[in-house]
Structure 1
């Protein structure tokens, strides 16, 4: 059964659950907004939209950008290559079928954990790239996720109540200012 919290500090909740912070493959990293805040010693930041990587907010030496299609991770990395594989605000950008395939591949690539952070349910998002880098095609949401289905896949799920709200430009664009907040899911699977 999913744990619910009003704590909206994603980084703190995630850091508390990390089993090994040696290396991370972050799938769909965008412009790498939070990667400097993660405790991993080595990070591969993978994104299909090259402008996100070229214009990333961090140039830290421990973060290596990689421009590739995430659906091909099993061709790019051998099994047990990283301590963890994460999908932070990215799994919802894939069809359910593609996402399930990537999660299975991630379990083979990760030594310790697969991490997912995503809105709860379907959060419609189209024709928007709030980074202003012409990535609208890649920012569209194609799937929604519930805590029960992630638990069925073996994830331990934390429901972060009200995580998405009027402070998020994509939320306001989709739902409007007065809409009630939308929960987020932080799901971790130990492999």
Structure 2
């Protein structure tokens, strides 16, 4: 089993090295925070709790890359054809599902992804209960049902095609942002389905940076006053 154990401070670089570039991303259960590991041309967010979608809409503004689907993952993923997206992200998702449902999500993600599936979840079971219907989630919203933990995950729950980055002491606060007695672990799981599009692919990386630069240039031209945009362009060309 391919598991890389790291200290907390070493995790970000290790994750960045493993995430593959993608033009079309399916982001399952993002809550109020769409994934930020890659910058796709199309970013599909599947979120069952409508108030979370409204919060995401506020944060991304009129960014045309985003498509928001107010749906459960079961309904949304069942409607998508095989190999219809480059990458599937499910970050802080499967621990909120019963184990059988989580395994089905992994199967569906494999079916849909052309390039990569990335999962992030606590290492093992991390208690988090919103059984009190009056209890707000950590963002002060009514999403407690969706934030309750129903399963725990370790590398042995995945098949041999997956690789992992793991940290034994990662989560330092609970759902109320209170310090834990002992830090809890975290697990990143990667299913690589195409080997030619990772961050080490220089040609694809250059294309990715060029497209990203073009996108921001178009947005700046549209949103900034003409005098400000012109001034920035003159500074850039000096």
Query: Deviation string for 1:82-116 (max 9, x for gaps)?
Result: 11111101111111111111110111110011110
Which of the two has higher C-alpha Rg?
2
**CA offset at residue 180 of structure 1?**
1.2
2:66 aligned to which of 55, 59, 63: 63
* TM-score, reference length from structure 2: 0.71
Structure 1 residue aligned with 2:183: 181
Query: Deviation string for 1:159-188 (max 9, x for gaps)?
Result: 02321003xx41755xxx351111100100
RMSD across aligned positions (CA): 2.0
Q: Is the Cα contact below 8 Å between 2:16 and 2:37 reproduced in 1?
A: no
Cα pair distance change 1:47/1:8, threshold 3 Å: farther
Structure 2 residue aligned with 1:83: 86
* TM-score, reference length from structure 1: 0.86
Number of aligned residues: 184
User: Which residues in structure 2 correspond to 1:118-157 (within 5 Å)?
Assistant: 118-127=121-130, 129-150=137-158, 152=159, 154-157=161-164
**CA offset at residue 189 of structure 1?**
0.5
1:161 aligns with 2:162: no
1:170 aligned to which of 157, 170, 175: 175
For the residues of structure 2 that align with 1:42 and 1:7, how far apart are their CA atoms?
A: 31
Q: Which has the higher helix share?
A: 2
Gapped regions of structure 2 (runs ≥ 5): 131-135, 194-238
